[in-house]
Amino acid sequence: MNQLVIRGSLVKAPRLTRSPAGIPHLLLAIEHRSLQMEAGLTRQCYVRIQAVVSGEEAELWSTKLTLGHEIEVSGFLQRHENAKGVPRLILHAQKLIQV
């Protein structure tokens, strides 16, 4: 099973790009902060993750989302490498809602 749900705010302006095949991709940077219980103790949780919305949904959301919006994204994680070969995990959004 590869499924992730995260709620947070957009910390960079969403950027719409197109693949060489012409598929639209909306690139998002999501920041999450919360308090979580672990081993009976409360700890601060902070994560910033890159997400991508692909296809027709990308174009639709590109006109609705701006910096600072609170969103909830669910989807799967995929490993991507940048041009220098540095790997990172990207959340591929299958469902996105504005909170």
pLDDT in tens, the chain (99 residues): 999 999 999 999 999 999 999 999 999 999 999 999 999 999 999 999 999 999 999 999 999 999 999 999 999 999 999 899 999 999 999 999 999
* pTM: predicted TM-score of the whole model, two decimal places: 0.91
| The pLDDT of residue 35 | 97
Reported CATH class of domain 4-98: mainly beta
Would you list the domain boundaries of the chain?
4-98
Q: How far apart are CA 55 and CA 41, in angstroms?
A: 42
